[in-house]
């Protein structure tokens, strides 16, 4: 099996990345400087580990030899990025990290030629704002012809981890910059702009983000401005060493991140799109683990790359509960209207085929209309009375159908009451009824959100009355083999919308 080495696996974010990688079946090897801490994390995850310091070139080379992918989660990146990137090039190991500082990306630009010659990919920002903002930027830019300018703002909510605060404080780039005609130039710190993240206009401050480099590389846009709006304790006061490791799980759940991108085309038309996602400290380690999985599976392009270049603009929306919603400017070009209509028709066709085959019990054929990393998420908190809550990949999805069919032996009756479609998403309102083997009636109204990518279904999120579902399905806990007829909880839709 190809090897993933996670350096910094005992840190706040690194430990979560290691857990996610373990959950994905990657069996990572953990790396770091503290043997006792590494041993404890490795024992909990049943993983191997290697103790080494990035300042010891020979030890670094020995640790990376045999590793296919290195995921660097150890900041400050001013100290760790160069020795690990250079070692990755020497040992033929693909390099990933979660850096949020511009310096790591400038370093990757310098090492681009050497990495390309060695057949090694440098992918800084495989998780975090570079992944989420890069996908949002590419998505928005694709909606205009010949994009000339992009303004993008990030809403950072909640508190910052101690490691992030220390890493940011040691960043060499202290100027506020923006991209003008392809060059990074000073930006006026007082040039505040208003953006609406979905809760009204707020004042956003210019900030230097690595996306000034990565978005420019991925989209070719020469003029880029980046902004931030902070709520809560995003930028702490006081001694950094006194900060907690990072926000708690409850704090992360309460503090979602948002972003807005505004793209202007060559004809002057302006459009915007909004990203809504989980807390950054939830998104980052999960996205990094999925990026590592995809690189191990062969998604590789040697040289300095961005997540959008390697995984596509839809990558962010495959991570947790992340959504991009489009807003329109004033002058829509006819060409864009036609493109949107064709895209909507392709997506509707994939969804229709998927649901028709599901209703007929042909799960294998249904899944042909999905992407390789397809997931189906049933809302609710895993581990509670509602046992079906959770996210299921392609391999797990048939088992989910089997559990629902066991509870409703005659299958659910699903009526679609409305459908709304865009180029990237279909939203269907549903009314699902059925009866359990013990005679309990199931009557639930819900919403299914289908995320589309390249004419296929990338993810489905199923929203429903989980309390009613738990009451009805709790009595049936059997997990049989997949059935030969229709199945998900409220979204096995083989009908057309009610007129």
DSSP run (H or E) holding 431: strand 425-435
| Residues in a beta bridge with 50 | 31
| Distance (Å, whole) CA 118 – CA 358 | 46
Nearest to 319 by CA among 450, 497, 193, 131: 131
* Cβ count near 120 (within 10 Å): 22
In this structure, what token pair is assigned to residue 437? 């083997």
Per-residue pLDDT tens, the chain, 499 aa: give them. 589 999 999 999 999 999 999 999 999 999 999 999 999 999 999 999 999 999 999 999 999 999 999 999 998 898 999 999 999 999 999 999 999 889 899 999 999 999 999 999 999 999 989 999 999 999 999 999 999 999 999 999 887 776 666 555 555 457 899 999 999 999 998 899 999 998 888 999 999 999 999 999 999 999 999 999 988 765 556 665 666 678 889 988 989 999 999 999 999 989 999 999 999 999 999 999 999 999 999 999 999 999 999 999 999 999 999 999 998 653 333 333 333 444 545 666 777 778 777 767 788 888 988 998 899 998 877 667 677 888 999 999 998 888 888 888 887 777 777 777 766 788 888 888 888 888 888 898 888 888 888 778 999 999 988 888 888 876 544 343 333 333 343 443 233 333 3
CB 267 within 8 Å of CB 284: no
CB 148 within 8 Å of CB 267: no
Cβ neighbors of 75 (< 8 A, separation 6 or more) are 8, 11, 99, 163, 164, 166, 167
Mark residue 387 as left, alpha or beta (left: phi above 0; alpha: psi -120 to 50; beta: remaining). alpha
* Cβ count near 310 (within 10 Å): 18
Using CB atoms within 10 A of its CB, is residue 37 exposed (0-12), middle (13-18) or buried (19+)?
middle
Give the DSSP letter of residue 317.
Answer: G
Nearest to 275 by CA among 256, 289, 291, 288: 256
pTM above 0.75, yes or no: no
């Amino acid at each position: 099996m190809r090897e993933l080495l996670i350096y910094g696996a005992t840190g706040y974010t690194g430990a979560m990345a290691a857990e996610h990688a373990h959950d994905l079946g990657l069996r990572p090897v953990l790396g770091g400087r503290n043997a006792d801490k590494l041993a404890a994390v490795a024992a909990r995850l049943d993983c191997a580990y290697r103790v080494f310091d990035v300042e010891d070139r020979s030890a670094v080379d020995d640790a990376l030899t045999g590793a296919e992918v290195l995921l660097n989660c150890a900041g400050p990146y001013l100290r760790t990025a160069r020795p690990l990137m250079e070692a990755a090039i020497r040992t033929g190991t693909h390099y990933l990290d979660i850096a949020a500082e511009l310096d790591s990306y400038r370093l990757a630009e310098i090492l681009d030629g050497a990495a390309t010659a060695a057949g090694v990919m440098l992918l800084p920002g495989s998780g975090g704002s570079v992944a989420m903002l890069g996908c949002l930027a590419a998505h928005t830019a694709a909606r205009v012809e010949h994009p000339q300018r992009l303004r993008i703002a990030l809403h950072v909510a909640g508190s910052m981890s101690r490691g992030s605060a220390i890493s940011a404080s040691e960043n060499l780039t202290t100027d506020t910059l923006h991209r003008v005609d392809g060059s990074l130039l000073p930006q006026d710190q007082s040039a505040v702009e208003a953006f609406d993240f979905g809760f009204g206009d707020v004042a956003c401050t210019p900030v230097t983000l690595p996306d000034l480099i990565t978005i420019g590389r991925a989209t070719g846009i020469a003029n880029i401005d980046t902004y931030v709006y902070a709520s809560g304790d995003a930028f702490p006061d006081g001694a950094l060493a006194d900060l907690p490791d990072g926000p708690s799980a409850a704090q992360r759940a309460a503090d979602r991140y948002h972003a807005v991108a505004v793209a202007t085309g060559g004809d002057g038309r302006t459009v915007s799109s909004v990203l809504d996602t989980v807390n950054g400290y939830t998104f980052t380690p999960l996205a990094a683990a999925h990026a590592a999985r995809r690189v191990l599976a062969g998604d590789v392009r040697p040289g300095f790359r961005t997540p959008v270049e390697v995984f596509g603009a839809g990558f962010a929306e495959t991570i947790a509960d992340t959504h991009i919603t489009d807003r329109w400017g004033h002058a829509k070009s006819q060409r864009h209207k036609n493109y949107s209509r064709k895209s909507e028709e392709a997506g509707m066709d994939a969804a229709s085929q998927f649901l028709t085959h599901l209703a007929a019990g042909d799960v294998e054929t249904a899944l042909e209309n999905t992407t390789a990393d397809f997931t189906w998420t049933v809302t609710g908190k895993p581990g509670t009375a509602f046992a079906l809550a959770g996210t299921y990949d392609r391999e797990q999805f048939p088992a989910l159908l089997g559990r629902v069919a066991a509870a409703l032996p005659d299958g659910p009756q699903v009526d679609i009451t409305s459908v709304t479609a865009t180029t990237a998403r279909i939203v269907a309102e549903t009314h699902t009824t059925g009866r359990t083997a013990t005679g309990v009636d199931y009557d639930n109204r819900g919403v299914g959100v289908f995320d589309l990518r390249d004419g296929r279904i990338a993810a489905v999120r199923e929203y429903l009355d989980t309390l009613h579902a738990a009451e009805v399905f709790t009595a049936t806990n059997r997990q049989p083999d997949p059935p030969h007829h229709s199945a998900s909880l409220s979204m096995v839709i083989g009908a057309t919308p009610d007129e």
